[in-house]
Amino acid sequence: MNNDVLILAIETSCDETASAVVKNGREVLSNVIHTQIDIHELYGGVVPEIASREHIRRIDQVVAKALKDAGASLSDLSAIAVTCGPGLVGALLVGVSEAKAMAFASSLPLISVNHIEGHISANFIAFPELEPPFICLIVSGGHTHLVVVKDYCEYELIGRTRDDAAGEAFDKVARSIGLGYPGGPKIDACAKEGDPHAFEFPIAKVNGSPYDFSFSGLKSAVLNTLHNASQRGETIRPADLAASFQHSVVTVLTEHALAAAEEYGYDKLVLAGGVAANSCLRESFATACKKRKLGFYCPPPSLCTDNGAMIGAAAYYRFLKGEFAELSLNAIPNLKLI
């Protein structure tokens, strides 16, 4: 008898329509992503209503391709998993409705997945040997969380952003420099030509909360620098601004995560989320972890940004616990990790 657990996963929380088939939580049989970036680029950011409509247009094709690429049919599956939050409510509803319809029609169990847990779980795909416990920094467009992953599905939140998420700061700063959307990858590329010490931007700390983050002051500092220069008729090299901003973000993320690993006594440090694709952040973590003899884990960039495979990986551990969702499952736009 074949005891393999095959999960079809669906992810539509923001601007990627994604679906994957994942075997036993760690092996990706297919991973299909239809990105809407070129559409939202026209507006300088994600337009929620357009995102929902585009998901509706694409979801059937994306799911069908995920099954085809995996060489699987519904009868081979053990469960259907879907991101139920956090995210844009209209966007989430498309994936949730698709998954519920498929689960109902095929009598397969339904698993609801927290998007942030999905990001963490991308590491289980990239590193088959990785097991909790570890410290994980999740940095995305919507979240900046420092978490102790005590066990599968068991988390302790030890730090979070008090205002903007790291990715949000990248996107807003990129817009102000005129780099366009999505800002993260554009700042990453532009910063390679710049001097990270051209401007000394604040490395923000939150009083009394050593692991919390704040990026709104840094964002304002970048804007003020731009305005002051334009009032004086001076020109600023965008690459210098991008590199100096990025340096500030990367420094505070690295310092907090390293301090947490030390204080809590964990020897593995894990990065996750779209901003974890940032080359400077990856390098900074890799160097710091090597120095302190900590294990460093970060998925390849394609598994850092939103995808279906990470949802299939997270769903596997819910499957093992027998945690299934009802067909009354709804989208929960502000769903918390814990």
* Contact footprint for Zn ion (CB under 5 A): 140, 306
Closer CB to ligand KG4, residue 175 or residue 237? Answer: 175
Residue 319, CA distances (Å) to 4, 67, 154, 182 in order:
12, 19, 14, 34
> Which is nearest to 153 in space by CA: 321, 28, 336?
321
Residue 272, CA distances (Å) to 22, 121, 126, 129 in order:
19, 8, 11, 17
> Which is nearest to 223 in space by CA: 247, 205, 201?
201
Q: How far is the CB of 310 from Zn ion (least distance, A)?
A: 8
Closer CB to ligand KG4, residue 45 or residue 133? Answer: 45
Which among ligand KG4, Zn ion, none contacts residue 331 (Cβ within 5 to 8 A by kind)? none
Closer CB to Zn ion, residue 140 or residue 225? Answer: 140
Residue 97: φ, ψ to 5°: -65, -40
Q: How far is the CB of 188 from ligand KG4 (least distance, A)?
A: 4
Mark 191-220 with x for binding to ligand KG4 (rule: CB under 6 A) and - for no binding. ------------------------------
Beta strand pairing status for 79-85 and 27-35?
unpaired
> Which is nearest to 4 in space by CA: 25, 18, 19, 20?
25
| Tokens (6 digits) for 24 | 């036993």
Residue 240 in contact with ligand KG4, rule: CB under 6 A: no
- The single residue among 85, 109, 159, 184 that binds ligand KG4, judged by CB under 6 A, is 184
Closer CB to ligand KG4, residue 185 or residue 196? Answer: 185
Please give the residues from 135 up to 164 whose contact with ligand KG4 meets the rule CB under 6 A.
140-142
Residue 326, CA distances (Å) to 108, 296, 315, 323 in order:
11, 37, 15, 10
Which among ligand KG4, Zn ion, none contacts residue 184 (Cβ within 5 to 8 A by kind)? ligand KG4
Binding site for ligand KG4 (CB under 6 A): 14, 140-142, 167, 170-171, 182-185, 188, 273-275, 277-278, 305-306
